Amino acid sequence: MMDGLTPALFSAAQLPEGQPVNLSRRGVLGAALGALVLGVALPRGAARAQAAAPAVQPGTRIPAFLEIRQDGSVLLKSPFIEGGQGVDTAMAQIVGEELDADPARFVVECAPPGPDYALVNGRRITGGSFSVRSAYPAMRQLGARARAMLVQAAATRLGVPAAELTTEPGKVVHAASGRSLDYGALAAEAAALPVPETAPLRAERDFRYIGKPVARLDVRAKSTGRAMYSIDVTVEGMLQAAVQHAPRLGMEPGAFANEAEVKAMPGVHSIQRLPGAVAVLADRWWRARRAVETLQVGWTPPAADARNVMPADFSSAAHHAVLAAATGPGNPAEVEGDTAAALRSATRTIEAVYDAPFLAHGQLEPPSATARWNADGTLDLWLPNQAPEMFQAVAARVAGIAPEQVKIHSPLLGGFFGRHFLYDSANPFPQAIQLAKEVGRPVKLIWTREEEFLRDALRPMGLARFRAGIGPDGMPVALEAEAVGEGPIGRWFGTAPGKADPSAVEGIAEKPYAIPNRRVVQVPLRHPPIISFWRSVGHSMNDFFYEAFLDEVAEAGGQDPYQLRLRLLAEKPRHKALLEAVGELSGGWKRGPYDAADGTKRARGVAMASPFGSEVATIAEVSLKDGAVVVHDVWVAVDPGRMVNPAIIEAQVNSAVALGLSSALLEEVVYVDGVPQARNFDNYPILTPERMPRVHVRIVESGAPMGGIGEPGLPGVPPAVVNAVAALTGQRVRSLPLAKTRLGAV
C-alpha cells in the first residue's frame, strides 16, 4: 500500500535480472536445489550463513523458490502473501510461463523470511499493489533458468545436444527421436547442474499463461472450507487466549474486582496482565473469551511518559473541527506556475472544503497470533502479516532474541486491505509472545471482533480545501489545494522536514489535467488514533476530494464534467483514451438526469485516478430510494500498462469497487470520549449484497510500465458516485459517507 514510497522503494527496471554472483557459488546453488528436490529444506546453519551474506541478490537463487517434485508438480515459495488478490496464481503464471509448466500444477506457499524475497526494491512487502509488477522480471528469469537446467539434464540423459531439445508443459522433448522426459524425472539431475547466468525468455507473442485468464489455484480449497488461515492454526499443547483492552490507549490494568470468580470459570488456566490489556488463558477460546469479558478491571490513567495516548476527550467530530481550523501555508507537494496571480486575474473563483472520516479495515478474519517457544530458545509465530521480515524483526525485539531465532509462518490472509502491517498496539503477536513465555506453553490468541474495532489502526480522517480560478472560456486557469492531516507514510516511515507526506497528498497532487497554475500543499496535523494503510491509502479519499471539486469547476465554467476532463487531457493520450474507453463501455457518456426503464430517475458521474502506477476511469449510475443512494452500474476502464491475468484484474476491480462504494455510502469510525462507538458490524455497516452494483470492466493494455491492480479500482468510485448524486439532485456532497446526508430528487 505504499504508493508514496514508490520512488524510494520501487523501480521495476532497476530490479536485478538475476545472475549468480560467481562460478564457485553455482555449485552451491545446484546442490541446494538437489536438496530441495528431495524435499529437504536448506539446513538451518546454511540458511543462516546465507542470510548473513550480503551477496544474495533477491530473486536469483532457484532453490529458495522452486522445488520440482517427482510427480512433476511444482512448489513455489512466493515472496508474497495471498489474501484474495490472486498473487499466488499470478506468480505461478509468471514462473510457469518461462519454466514451461502449467500453472495448475503449482503449489504456492508464502516463503519464510530471507534475503531472497526482498523483491520490492530491496524490501519485502505484500502491499502497495506492488507484488506482480515488482517481481515480474525476476520471476520470469527464475523460471527460464530452471527450465534451462532441466533441458541440460535431459540432454545429458538422452545423449543429444541441448539445442535439439524443446519443452512442452512439464516435459523436455526430443522431437527428432520422438522421446520425452518429464520434469519430475529430471529434477534431481537438473539440481546437480550449475545454474546458468541467464536463460532466454519466451517471446511475449508466444505467452500461453501470462496475459490469460488462468484459473486461480486457491478457489476450490476456499469453496470447501479447506483453506487455512492464521485463525485456524492448531499447535500441540496450546492454550487459547482472549483479551480485554483498555478502553483508551495508554491506560493500564489496575485492580481486578472479581478475580476469584473468573479464575473459577470453566477451563480457565490463568489471568495475565499485558501492556494496556488483560488476557485470560483457557483450554478453549470461548471459555477464555467469556472469562476475560467477565473480568472487572479497574483501568489506571495513562502514565506521563506513555506512548500513543488516546485523549479522554477525543471525538472524531471535534477532530474534524480541528482539521477545518488548521491553516497553511503547509508543505508543498506540487507547485506549478503562479496560482496567486492566476486567481487574481480569473474571471471567476470558487472554493470548497471536502472531508472524509476515519475508517476501519473490517477484513473478515479477526486478527490472531499463535506463539510457540521451543526448547532451543527459538520462537515459532503464526500470524497474519504483509511483511514477514519486518514482523520477524519486531517479534525478535519483543522476545529478546535474535531475528533468525524467530520463525515466521504466514498463512493465507482472510482479507487485509492494509490491516496487517506493523502498527504498534494494533498487532496481537506481541501479546501472544509474552503470554506464551509467561505460561511456558504455546498460546493462540484471537481478538474478538469487538477488540478488533477497539484496536484497529484507522484509515486517517482527511480534509482538503480547494480554490480554483476559471478563465473567460470556462476553463480552469488555477487550482490550489491544502490537504490537512497526515498519512501512514509520514506516521510510520517519517517525512523529511518541510516536505509533504506523499500518502497525504496522493490523488490531489500530480493529477494529469492541464491546469496551468497549480499549488498543492499538505498542512500536517497529527491524528490522535493509530493510523494505517487502507486499500488505496491517500487515494481512497483524495481522489474523491479532487474529482468532486473538478465537477464543481466544470459547473462554474458552464461545462459538462466529462467534456471538461477530455479537454484537460487533450495532451495526455493515455488518459484521454481511457476516458473515452469508459465512456464507450457505458454506452456513451450521458450525465442526466434521465428516466430509466424501471421508472426511476437516474444520473451518472465520472472520475479519474492515477493510483499505484495504473490509470483508471470510472463512471457510476445512481438513483435515489427513500433519500438514500442506489448505485446501479459502475463502469471501470483500467490501464495497468500490461497485465498478467485479466480474470484476476476483473475480480480485483469488482472488489475495489465494492470497498470504495462501501466507504462512499456507509462507513465512518466515530469516536466519542476517546472510544470508538462501533464495536462490531451492527454499528459499523459495510456494503451488503443488495447494495452491490453491476460492475463492468474494460482492461486497456497501453504498454506502459506495469502498474498495480489490487487497489487502483477503488479511488474513482466515491467521486463518480458523488458526482452522479450531484447531477441527479443538484446537491453537492462534500463530506463522506453519503449516509450522513438526506438527499432529495430534483
Partner 1 sequence: MELNINGTTRSVEAEADTPLLWVLRDELGMTGTKYGCGVAQCGACTVLVDGQATRSCVTPVESVAGMAITTIEAVEQDPVGRRVVEAWVAAQAPQCGYCQSGQVMAATSLLKQTPHPSDEDIAAAMTNLCRCGTYNAIAAAVRQAAAQG
Residues at the site binding ligand FES, with contacts judged by CB under 6 A: 84, 364, 415
In this chain, which stretch among 299-307, 485-493, 593-601, 679-687 interacts with partner 1, using CB under 8 A? 679-687
Q: How far is the CB of 141 from partner 1 (least distance, A)?
A: 29
Three-point CA angle 326, 327, 332, nearest 5°: 115
* Cell numbers at 229, concatenated: 488461515
The verdict on 14 binding partner 1 (CB under 8 A) reads no
CB 523 within 8 A of CB 326: yes
Residue 225 near which of ligand FES, partner 1, none (CB within 5-8 Å, type-dependent): partner 1
Exposed, middle or buried, 621 (CB in 10 Å: 0-12/13-18/19+)? buried
Residue 223 near which of partner 1, ligand FES, none (CB within 5-8 Å, type-dependent): partner 1
Which of residues 126 and 623 has its CB atom nearest to ligand FES in the complex? 126
Figure out which of the listed residues 158, 692, 699, 739 binds partner 1, where binding follows CB under 8 A.
692
* Cell numbers at 733, concatenated: 456532497
Sheet strands side by side (includes 171-174): 165-168, 171-174, 179-182
Buried b (16+ CB within 10 A) or exposed e, 580-615: bbbbebbeebbbbbeeeeeebbbbbbbbbbbbbbbb
Q: How far is the CB of 361 from ligand FES (least distance, A)?
A: 12
**Calpha distance 363→696 (Å, rounded):** 24
Q: How far is the CB of 84 from ligand FES (least distance, A)?
A: 5
CB 524 within 8 A of CB 331: yes
The verdict on 225 binding partner 1 (CB under 8 A) reads yes
**Calpha distance 648→621 (Å, rounded):** 24
* 403-442 positions binding partner 1, by CB under 8 A: 412-417
In this chain, which stretch among 226-234, 301-309, 669-677, 718-726 interacts with partner 1, using CB under 8 A? 226-234
CB 411 within 8 A of CB 206: no
Total residues contacting partner 1 by CB under 8 A comes to 62
Residue 366 near which of ligand FES, partner 1, none (CB within 5-8 Å, type-dependent): partner 1
**Calpha distance 179→591 (Å, rounded):** 64
The verdict on 362 binding partner 1 (CB under 8 A) reads yes
Figure out which of the listed residues 176, 224, 236, 742 binds partner 1, where binding follows CB under 8 A.
224
Task: For 521, list phi and psi in degrees, rounded to 5.
Answer: -130, 160
My answer on whether omega of the bond before 302 falls inside 30° of 0, hence cis, is no
**Calpha distance 601→744 (Å, rounded):** 12
The verdict on 657 binding partner 1 (CB under 8 A) reads yes
**Calpha distance 453→472 (Å, rounded):** 51
The verdict on 87 binding partner 1 (CB under 8 A) reads no
**Calpha distance 656→415 (Å, rounded):** 12
Sign of the Cα torsion 336, 478, 608, 691 reads positive
Figure out which of the listed residues 44, 220, 344, 397 binds partner 1, where binding follows CB under 8 A.
220
The verdict on 85 binding partner 1 (CB under 8 A) reads yes
**Calpha distance 4→489 (Å, rounded):** 7
Which of residues 416 and 545 has its CB atom nearest to ligand FES in the complex? 416
The verdict on 613 binding partner 1 (CB under 8 A) reads no
Q: How far is the CB of 745 from ligand FES (least distance, A)?
A: 34
The verdict on 99 binding partner 1 (CB under 8 A) reads no
Residue 85 near which of ligand FES, partner 1, none (CB within 5-8 Å, type-dependent): partner 1
Q: Which of 292, 85, 282, 227 is nearest to 710 (CA)?
A: 85
Q: How far is the CB of 354 from partner 1 (least distance, A)?
A: 25
The verdict on 126 binding partner 1 (CB under 8 A) reads no
Exposed, middle or buried, 632 (CB in 10 Å: 0-12/13-18/19+)? middle
**Calpha distance 404→47 (Å, rounded):** 10
HSE, CB side, 13 Å, CA atoms: give it for residue 208: 13
Figure out which of the listed residues 4, 34, 86, 128 binds partner 1, where binding follows CB under 8 A.
86
Q: Which of 78, 571, 475, 531 is nearest to 310 (CA)?
A: 531
Three-point CA angle 21, 25, 30, nearest 5°: 120
Q: What is the largest CA-CA distance in the chain?
A: 85
* 435-474 positions binding partner 1, by CB under 8 A: 446, 448-450
Three-point CA angle 512, 514, 518, nearest 5°: 90
The verdict on 240 binding partner 1 (CB under 8 A) reads yes
Q: How far is the CB of 636 from partner 1 (least distance, A)?
A: 13
Residue 580 host element (H or E): helix 573-585
Q: Which residue is nearest to ligand FES (CB)?
A: 364
Figure out which of the listed residues 188, 211, 229, 390 binds partner 1, where binding follows CB under 8 A.
229
The verdict on 216 binding partner 1 (CB under 8 A) reads yes
**Calpha distance 659→252 (Å, rounded):** 35
The verdict on 513 binding partner 1 (CB under 8 A) reads no
Figure out which of the listed residues 163, 313, 690, 742 binds partner 1, where binding follows CB under 8 A.
690
Q: What count of residues does the chain have? A: 746
Q: How far is the CB of 222 from ligand FES (least distance, A)?
A: 7
- Which single residue is written with the C-alpha cell 517479534? 395
The verdict on 93 binding partner 1 (CB under 8 A) reads no
The verdict on 699 binding partner 1 (CB under 8 A) reads no
Q: How far is the CB of 649 from partner 1 (least distance, A)?
A: 12
The verdict on 223 binding partner 1 (CB under 8 A) reads yes
* Cell numbers at 607, concatenated: 472520475
* 254-283 positions binding partner 1, by CB under 8 A: 266
Exposed, middle or buried, 450 (CB in 10 Å: 0-12/13-18/19+)? middle
Figure out which of the listed residues 177, 374, 563, 688 binds partner 1, where binding follows CB under 8 A.
688
Which of residues 303 and 364 has its CB atom nearest to ligand FES in the complex? 364
Which of residues 84 and 719 has its CB atom nearest to ligand FES in the complex? 84
Which of residues 232 and 334 has its CB atom nearest to partner 1 in the complex? 232
The verdict on 658 binding partner 1 (CB under 8 A) reads yes
Q: How far is the CB of 447 from ligand FES (least distance, A)?
A: 14
**Calpha distance 266→491 (Å, rounded):** 43
Which of residues 594 and 681 has its CB atom nearest to ligand FES in the complex? 681
Residue 585 near which of ligand FES, partner 1, none (CB within 5-8 Å, type-dependent): none
Those residues with Cβ within 8 angstroms of residue 28's Cβ, 6 or more apart along the chain or in another chain? none
Q: How far is the CB of 700 from partner 1 (least distance, A)?
A: 21
In this chain, which stretch among 44-52, 211-219, 433-441, 474-482 interacts with partner 1, using CB under 8 A? 211-219
Which of residues 207 and 681 has its CB atom nearest to ligand FES in the complex? 681
* 283-312 positions binding partner 1, by CB under 8 A: 284-287
Q: How far is the CB of 536 from partner 1 (least distance, A)?
A: 14
Which of residues 240 and 385 has its CB atom nearest to partner 1 in the complex? 240
Which of residues 218 and 438 has its CB atom nearest to partner 1 in the complex? 218
Q: How far is the CB of 364 from ligand FES (least distance, A)?
A: 4
The verdict on 109 binding partner 1 (CB under 8 A) reads no
Q: Are strands 517-524 and 331-336 parallel, antiparallel or unpaired?
A: antiparallel
Binding site for partner 1 (CB under 8 A): 83-86, 215-216, 218-229, 231-232, 234, 240, 266, 284-287, 362-366, 412-417, 446, 448-450, 647, 651, 654-659, 662, 680-682, 686-690, 692, 694-695
